[in-house]
Amino acid sequence: MERNVTLDFVRGVAILGILLLNVTAFGLPKAGYLNPAWAGHISQADAWTWALLDLFAQVKFLSLFALLFGAGLYMLLRRGKRWIQARLTLLVLLGFLHSILLWDGDILLAYGLVGVICWRLIRDAHSNRQLFNTGVVLYLMGLGVLVLLGAISSSHASRLWVPDAATVQYETWWKLSGGAVAMKNRLNLLADNLLALGAQYGWQLAGMMLLGAALMRSGWLSGRFSLHHYRRTGLWLIVLGMAINIPAIIAQWQLGWAYRWCAFWLQIPRELSAPFQAIGYAALAWGFWPQLAPLRLVAAITCVGRMALTNYLLQTLICITLFYHMGLYMALSRTQLLVLVPGIWLVNLAVSVIWLHYFRQGPVEWLWRYLTARAVGARKALSR
């Protein structure tokens, strides 16, 4: 089956965009990912950095990646039940190893677990409308859980939102120490993440996957509509998403990122805006593809998308080296951390272009496919 180059490009954009947020998760304590005032104070530069990332990137690129993951599940249906189950099981295993051995911010485990459920919903959907509507309902259910969590939460800030000095010191110690103590703490964090996945985030992730599958099934994600449609749709969806998100950004800033409001209820507009903006970003890629396709940078980003899994893991290896082994952990502000991102992007771009000049797949992608084929006894698939 011939590759969809535009989808590879959009996937590459998603992988590169995710790093804009992940670099904060690597370089600052866990509380710093969502709360820019985690230290009790914040500079004007960091506040503006948070606001711009919240508006254009936070949740948006993860939603875009989930959308494409769902589209991929739909495209895999032709391979059958055993292939899909083996592929997702291996992704779950890889995600588990990644989260325990390398980094507690892994998303692969969540995608694999939710994908195990979603592919059946995609397969059994009677119509595209049913698939799309189910995705919307699941996503809104996740937001509903967020409302309930805000209602039952304490008004006093959690240490996960505003950590005390001892908490920050301990987190710094185990991250920099590595070894068994770091694995133990990452395992504890994994347990918390799995609870959050089952209680709240998993609903939204499933919703985005079903939306992606519905858009692929309808032909929308394979470019079957006019350029004018994609441009107009993309513009309106992005404007709508921003209009939903901007009031919440202003409110959080005015409230000084107070725990009860900002950790729960004011997260909802961001989460609600994310599907609109994610689909809008994809629409603009389709709408302007004739102008984008000849550019060398676009070709390089497309290579990143073809090696998405490899590049995601490569970003982890680069970041844990920079922050946990080269002394940059908690040495840079939120704004300063972004200075590192273009350099990591260049590594992703260079490695992808060079590798795909000699090989058809990224190394981790090849291994994933090879093990999947071995698991289902389909050795002939390796030569396809």
Q: The whole model's pTM is what?
A: 0.94
Which tokens go with 186? Answer: 């990452």
Count of domains in the chain?
Answer: 1
Range of the domain at 306: 5-383
- In this model, does residue 5 exceed pLDDT 60? yes
> How confident is the prediction for the chain on average, in pLDDT?
94
Instruction: Measure the CA–CA gap between 300 and 353, rounded to whole angstroms.
Output: 6
- Residue of 178, 208, 369, 202 lying closest to 276 (CA atoms): 208
Is the pLDDT at 249 greater than 70, yes or no?
Answer: yes
Percent of the chain with pLDDT over 90: 89
What are the pLDDT digits (tens) for 15-44?
999 999 999 999 999 999 989 999 888 999
Residues 6+ apart with CB under 8 A from 10: 64, 68, 281, 282, 285, 305
- Residue range 63-85, pLDDT digits in tens: 999 999 999 999 999 999 999 99
DSSP 221-253: GGT-S-HHHHHHHHHHHHHHHHHHHHHHHHHHH
DSSP assignment string, 300-352 = HHHHHHHTHHHHHHHHHHHHHIIIIISS-TTTS-HHHHGGGHHHHHHHHHHHH
Other residues' Cβ atoms within 10 Å of the Cβ of residue 383? 6
Angle in degrees, 0-180, between the axes of helices 128-152 and 268-287, rounded to the nearest 10: 150
Is the pLDDT confidence value at 156 over 70?
A: no
Q: How confident is the model at residue 384 (pLDDT cuts 50, 70, 90)?
A: very low
Q: What is the pLDDT of residues 268-282, one digit of tens each?
A: 999 999 999 999 999
Q: Which amino acid is at 226?
A: S
The contacts of residue 342 (CB under 8 Å, 6+ apart) are: none
Reported as a pLDDT band with limits 50, 70 and 90, residue 189 is very high
pLDDT of the residue at 369: 95
Contact 84, 76 (CB under 8 A): yes
